[in-house]
Amino acid sequence: MNYQVIAEKTLAALGGKDNIISAAHCATRLRLALKDESKVDEAALNELAEVKGTFSAAGQYQIIFGTGIVNKVHEQFIKLAGLENASTSDVKAASEQNISPFQKFFKMISDIFVPIIPALVASGLLMGINNLLTQPGLFNETLSVIQMYPDFAGVASLINMFANASFVFLPVLLGFTAAKRFGGNPILGAVIGMIMVHPDLLNAWNYGKPDQVANVIDLFGLQVEMIGYQGTVLPILVSAWIMSKIEITLHKYVPNVIDLLVTPLLTVLLTGFIIFFVVGPFTRGVGDAVAMGLVWMYNTFGALGGAVLGGSYSSIVLTGMHHSFHGFEAQLLADPNIQANFLLPLWSMANVAQGGAAFGMFFMLKDAKMKSIALPGAVSAVLGITEPAMFGVNLKLRYPFIAAAIGGAVSGAWIAFTKVYMVGVGATGIPGLPLVAVSGMGSYIIGMIISFAVAMVMTIVFYKVQQKRGQNPEA
């Protein structure tokens, strides 16, 4: 395989080196910031056997080459384009010039939450294991595993502690990533998060219990209850932004000789007072209102709401805004009155539907290249990775993407009707099974079958309709 030739053809199809601002690669894709995407010759790109698909999202033009190929093509590509080796962060920064303020906001939320997803996924899986050990009637008609085998009680207790840690100290994690995103010192961001969950504060999860009373402090007539922010999202995001602005401003005006002493001191001191007297109480209320609003919508609209969310999710993925949903999911899980992620199962159905549509195309396609993408793409989507199926097949032909939306809508209605929820964030499809609450596992599996089958059947139907109309269903 001549990677230089592939890079030359790719560069020509992208409008030449004068149209390239920056280029980087991830595990499977060449990520590009372009001056003018209208100059891209997609037909020429798709003719390349090594190209598995192309798409544009959040100001980036991305070409799917696959693992093991993309890094070698990238190496030759930057030489031909006269570019320096850039990171994906550099390309993201360059691509932000081409997106709207609305998209920038959701990208900001995504940048804050994506780094902590591994922690939330681990916590969710551990919660799933804890459920398997403590749920009565799962392996025995009346008893749980730890009731059948008391020696496991200590293990279950430790696992439960491990599972809760990420949510109890969520402000610390978010303080770090948010401060980094806002240009502040991430360690100071973590310190602000620690202040918000300090042991001297009443644990937020115990607030409202008859035997739990918060201390009240009085400052010039302002009285504030000393309640922690365990598991909250919005308060730390706003606090980290304020902290970063204070720190950046202080760095500008404090003399270098005393900067190391004065700036951290004043940053933490000022931010701390602002949190407890202004930002915290207000944003806690807003965050609770958002969470309860989502619960109200879910309970009120039921299957209809599930159909809308399940059917529209893949379209939202195209905008790149889907990563911002992690904030809502974390808020639902962290709220002691909810502690259920009913959004992720709906996203899961949409992802599986992309696999069903690609699988339907595998049986119908005559084009050898697209056929070779369709089957592995279908398998990948069922395992939670939708890019090969969505961008390599379904979106190119459009009607499989519509079929997948129908599959996601039908299965989303089922998931909402049967009240399936997850106890974590991250994994979808089959890998998401351990995150599903024990009571909903059966319904979740049925939902995946519905999603896959409906999308596959509708894809085949649309294919045949295209043929009957005398149209080419593979163009």
Structure confidence at residue 279 (pLDDT): 86
CA distance 69 to 48: 13
What is the token pair recorded at 179? Answer: 């401060």
210 HSE (CA, 13 A, CB side): 0
Give mean pLDDT, residues 345-352. Answer: 94
**What is the set of active-site residues?**
26
Q: Are 235 and 252 in contact (CB under 8 A)?
A: no
- Asked if 146 and 133 count as a contact pair (C-beta separation under 8 A), the reply is yes
What pairs with residue 225 in β-bridges?
216
pLDDT category, 445, cuts 50, 70, 90?
very high
Quick one: three-class SS letters along 251-289? HHHCCHHHHHHHHHHHHHHHHHHHHHHHHHHHHHHHHHH
pLDDT at 95: 59
119 neighbors 167 (Cβ within 8 angstroms): no
Which of 367, 364, 373 shows the shortest CA–CA distance to 50?
373
d(CA 475, CA 218): 71
Q: Give the integer Cα–Cα distance in Å for 347 and 324.
A: 13
**Which pLDDT tens digit goes with each residue over 91-104?**
666 656 666 666 67
pLDDT digits (tens, 9 = 90+) for 276-318: 888 888 887 777 777 777 788 888 888 998 998 899 888 877 7
Determine the pLDDT at residue 86. 62
Whether pTM > 0.85 for this model: the answer is no
3-class SS of residue 53: strand
Phi, psi of 24 (to 5 degrees): -150, 180
* Consecutive H or E run containing 32: strand 29-34
pLDDT tens, position by position, 110-123: 778 778 877 877 87
Q: Phi and psi (nearest 5°) for 224?
A: -135, 130
C-beta atoms surrounding 135 within 10 Å: 15
Neighbours of 418 (CB within 10 A): 17
pLDDT of 189 > 90? The answer is yes
The phi and psi torsions of 55 (rounded to 5 degrees) equal: -165, 165
Q: Start-end ranges of CATH 3.30.1360.60 in the chain?
A: 3-98
Q: Is 263 exposed, middle or buried (0-12, 13-18, 19+ CB in 10 A)?
A: buried
Q: Does domain 3-98 sit in CATH 3.30.930.10?
A: no
Among 108-117, 123-132, 323-332, the minimum mean pLDDT is found in: 323-332
pLDDT at 97: 62
